[in-house]
Amino acid sequence: MIRKVLLAFRTVFKGLGLTMKHFFAAGESRKVLSITDQDYFAQNSGMTTIQYPHQKLPVPEVGRYQLDVEIDDCIVCDLCAKICPVDCIDIESIKATEAIGKTSDGTTKRLYAAKFDIDMAKCMYCGLCTVVCPTECIVMTDTYDRSMPDLKEMIYKFSDMKPEEAEEKRLALDKLNAERLAAKEAAMHQKTQN
């Protein structure tokens, strides 16, 4: 019984010494080093807190964080929207009446993107959309701390078509379709007549 009490006191003093050591080591603040640094794990005493946002850990340039879309390179193939596991990409396409132009790597564009919304709040940063994109227009940048007060502001709109333009293109498409239909009917009529 007495031995237990003495053991208790000995261990209590050992523990108190340990905490006192940590208390006095609190003067050393943490060196903010990048993970690629050789001495990242070298410091083993002192504070472990990094006071964000006053201090930030450096992010490598190839960091895979928030998505960014180069809309001029997009051929509106809808592959990224189809593969997204959380359905955060919303695309609405309008077929063009003729070839619009070429992307930076030579692919012909035949579709307009009337709506290209990515809900950054839903995005889970898996990167599958960047893998399937044929023209590599959707990429992951190294921005990670963009935060908004309203959830609706987290839906990023990448399409640069105004609603009137979209309407105009739709009407053009409808007109082309109607003309083609009329031409087809005329041809059929001709055939039956002959």
Partner 1 sequence: MTFYLTYVLVATALFAFTALFTLFALYSERKISAFIQDRIGPMEVGKYGTLQAFADIIKMLQKEFIIPTAADKILFILAPIVIFVSVYLGFAALPWAPGIIPSSLNLGLFYIFAILSIETLGILMAGWGSNNKYALLGSMRSVAQMISYEIPAGVALISAVMIAQSLNLQEISIKQGILAAEQVYFLGVWEVKSVGGFLAWNIFQAPHLILAYIIYFIASLAECNRAPFDIPEAESELVGGFHVEYSGLRFAFIFLAEYSMMFLVGMIGVVLFLGGWNTPLPNIGSAKLALWTSGIGWGIFWILIKTLTVVAVQIWIRWTLPRLRVDQLMSFCWKVLTPLAFLCMLFSGLWRLGVMQ
- Residue 15 in the binding site for partner 1 (CB under 8 A): yes
- Residue 49 in the binding site for partner 1 (CB under 8 A): yes
- Residue 18 in the binding site for partner 1 (CB under 8 A): yes
**Whole-Å CA distances, 134 to 33, 43, 142:** 37, 45, 22
Binding residue for partner 1, selected from 7, 10, 16, 148, defined by CB under 8 A: 16
Q: What share of the chain is helix, strand, coil (3-state, %, to 5)?
A: 40, 15, 45
Say which amino acid occupies 19: T
One character per residue 50-69, x = contact with partner 1 (rule: CB under 8 A)? -x------------------
Binding residue for partner 1, selected from 38, 39, 42, 48, defined by CB under 8 A: 48
Q: Which stretch binds partner 1 (CB under 8 A): 32-40, 43-51, 111-119, 140-148?
A: 43-51
What does the block give as tokens for 146? 């963009």
- Residue 26 in the binding site for partner 1 (CB under 8 A): yes
Alpha-helical segments (H) within 29-142? 79-83, 128-132
How far apart CA 85 and CA 115 sit, in angstroms, is 19
- Return residues touching partner 1 (CB under 8 A): 1, 5, 12, 15-16, 18-20, 22-23, 25-26, 46-49, 51
